[in-house]
Amino acid sequence: MTDTTAAVVDEVARTSYGRLVAYLASVTGDLAAAEDALGDALVAALTTWPERGVPERPESWLLTAARRTLIDAGRRRDVARAALPALARAMEERSEQLSGGVISDDRLRLMFACAHPAIAPAMRSPLILQAVLGLDAARLAPAFLVAPTTMGQRLVRAKAKIRDARVPFRVPERHELPERLDAVLDAVYAAYGTGWDDVDGLDEARRGLVPEAIRLARLLAELLPDEPEAHGLLALVLHSHARHDARRDASGDYVPLAEQDVSLWSRELIAEAEAHLARAMTGGRIGPYQLQAAIQSLHNRRSATGKTHWPAIAQLYDGLVRLAPTTGTAVARAAAHREVEGAAAALLLLDELTGEIGDDAVAGYQPYWVLRALCEHELGRTTAPEAASRAVALTTSPRVAAHLRRTLGPGQGT
């Protein structure tokens, strides 16, 4: 296998996984089978393309190979023989749509199918992330604060539920949206956050997640023009992404938000984000994504005013924690109050958090330990080195880890 072939297979898998799985699953109704068939097709590509050359339309080749796998699997199951003609016809119709070399985008249908009420609420967003973006259980587990094995088992059960309940792959009617939309929005934002956290760009599986999440957020805002939270989510990711080019300096070292060169922030993205935030605020319903977008808007105003309005940010976080309490928002709230009231106030909020959810719930949550280490170091507490060590140990980015070692003082976090 040549490096060129492997690179093409990797690129197609990374950029088209969700589209291909969505295509296959929308016909069969079996998400797990669709994923398996596509996996077999990718393996076949790695062995076939080096000998025969990369096809002109790699996606079409993969879809055709996966289609044959699904039909062959159906033939081997006697109970499915009656459905084979219909399955073959549906697959053939899908293949005919590829004659122009363009695969229509079924990802939103798949996302809403994964958010069906038949699926356990806690598994809707993880299932969307795996089905649409191909993230494995090991990468999903930390974002949802569970063990990889637990996440894997839950995903298997959720896919079986889709198959057994014959969940339809479609964008739901408007009256069905409220019970599904939150999971879809959460998944898109989690995809963005997963890609954004790869500061060093070392994880190939996360490469491309940020632009894909932005694309999906735009698609949701277009699909649901009157839904405030869809515009709130888009405003949030655009405000955050506007600062992308300032996250590393000329030597490649990590630069935290407070130290970034605002001249590197994208004015175009900030303006677009502000337009969507303004539209969201006219919707008559305040939601967590609107509040988070408003927080990022205040951060980005530093490019115009030269300062950050921390009291307003802290106030918005107070409201966000009341509206949508999560570990992440609680830690971010404490960080904002540190800027306004000092390290002692922030530590008090962190202690209140662990009192509510328990020490185990934050044991592996890196932002919690970063903030605790910063506060304890600032106050000169003897427990600061231990918190710093935990913060660095939980940091997956070498450049961020190096920044934390410098920030937390000599001998700490090593």
d(CA 325, CA 319): 9
Query: Are the CB atoms for 277 and 287 separated by under 8 Å?
Result: no
d(CA 414, CA 84): 61
d(CA 128, CA 207): 18
d(CA 272, CA 278): 10
pLDDT of residue 82: 46
Q: Which residue has the tokens 């020490």?
A: 359
Residues of the chain with pLDDT under 70: 1-3, 14-15, 26-27, 73-106, 169-171, 201-207, 409-414
Residues, the chain: 414
| CATH architecture under which domain 309-414 falls | Alpha Horseshoe (1.25)
Look at residues 145, 146, 115 and name the one whose alpha carbon lies nearest to residue 132: 115
pLDDT of residue 354: 95
pLDDT of residue 75: 59
Would you list the domain boundaries of the chain?
A: 1-104, 108-191, 225-308, 309-414
Q: Which residue has the tokens 């002692």?
A: 344
Q: What is the pLDDT of residues 256-313, one digit of tens each?
A: 999 999 999 999 999 999 999 999 999 888 999 999 999 999 999 999 999 999 999 9
- pTM of the complete model: 0.77
| Torsion sign (Cα): 78, 81, 82, 83 | positive
pLDDT of residue 98: 41
Query: Are the CB atoms for 229 and 289 separated by under 8 Å?
Result: yes
Look at residues 226, 194, 224, 228 and name the one whose alpha carbon lies nearest to residue 211: 194
Look at residues 131, 140, 135, 136 and name the one whose alpha carbon lies nearest to residue 107: 131
pLDDT of residue 152: 84
Q: Please state the φ and ψ torsions of residue 254, each to the nearest 5 degrees.
A: -70, 140
Q: What is the pLDDT of residues 315-359, one digit of tens each?
A: 999 999 999 999 999 999 999 999 999 999 999 999 999 999 999
CB atoms within 10 A of CB 271: 11
